[in-house]
Amino acid sequence: MSKYLEDPEYLFSLLTILVKKNGGEIVLTEEEIKSVTKGDLIGMYFEPKTGNLILKEVDLKDMMTAATLANDTTDKVYDN
């Protein structure tokens, strides 16, 4: 797992960025909260050309690819 995703301050910063990007408020319904399962997977990728951080839902069929990327230590640019 990414060292960033284990850091509470970093996670809070991400939440703050998302709320600010959405006009200062994000409403999560009870239904949306209940729909999240342990099988849901979100990938975090850094795009070095743009400096953008990309948060993306990973489809179940792509889960093996994401796991391979997360375990690949040859490319130090990405921290998955």
Assigned domain for 78 exists: no
pTM: 0.64
| Helix residue ranges per DSSP H, 1-80 | 8-21, 30-35, 63-71
25 and 12 housed in the same domain: yes
29 and 3 housed in the same domain: yes
Domain that holds residue 11: 1-36
Specify the 3-state DSSP secondary structure of 3. Answer: coil
Domain count within the chain = 2
> How high is the mean pLDDT of the chain?
83
44-72 residue pLDDT tens: 888 999 999 999 998 877 766 656 666 65
